[in-house]
Amino acid sequence: MFNLLPIEDRNAVKDEYHRRVVVFSLLFFAIAMGSVAILLLPSVYILSQKGAEVKGELEAFKKAPEAEDYQALANEVRTTRSRLIALIDNPERFETAEILRKIVDGKPKGTSITAFTFSNKAEGFEISLNGIASNRELLRTFVNSLKSDATFSSVDVPLSSFAKAEKTDFSITLLIKKKE
């Protein structure tokens, strides 16, 4: 096919084509960048909020007294260690888990144990129990079941534990004699 346009018009058409390609490319690029900016805006907002939060935590951490925290932690570790020694490192090798199982199994329904305290005494291994019984009869049943168990050489209950008829707070001290 023959091109009947003069050379000047052909160059003008080519220039117009290149201008349209450049304008379309720039328009496409601008729309793409605008879309990316709109899509990234929530992420940028969240990151800026998190950054401010982290800076606040860092400032709070820098202001916190370190020595007191470490001292409290060291004291807690010492206390826990001494309690573990009473449980694990006893020369008589009492089966602590088995003793606890006997105590819990002998506990009637309506009686709850709130605290165990273990100590290694000269006369034997002492266990102190604190708890709450629904009534006086349940406490008496629990004490009698502990007294009937040959594992415990003595079961001591203060009379004040039987003072209230309902919701009785109790304290029981059990002694396991050392093996000779």
Q: pLDDT tens digit string along 21-60?
A: 999 999 999 999 999 999 999 999 999 999 999 999 988 8
> Per DSSP, which regions of the chain are E strands?
111-120, 124-135, 154-156, 166-177
Paired with 129 in beta bridges are: 116, 172
So what's the pLDDT on residue 113? 87
d(CA 175, CA 173): 7
- The pTM assigned to this predicted structure is 0.47
d(CA 97, CA 51): 49
Dihedral angle, C-alpha 33, 39, 45, 47, nearest 10 °: -90
Q: What are phi and psi of 146, to 5 degrees?
A: -70, -40
d(CA 55, CA 74): 29
Instruction: List, for residues 49-105, the tens digit of each pLDDT value.
Output: 999 999 999 888 887 666 666 777 788 888 888 777 766 655 555 577 788 888 888
Which CATH superfamily groups domain 81-177? General secretion pathway protein M, EpsM (3.30.1360.100)
Q: How far is CA 7 from CA 13, 14, 22, 73, 108, in A?
A: 10, 10, 22, 91, 111
So where are the chain's domains?
1-64, 81-177
Which of 35 and 153 is assigned the larger pLDDT?
35
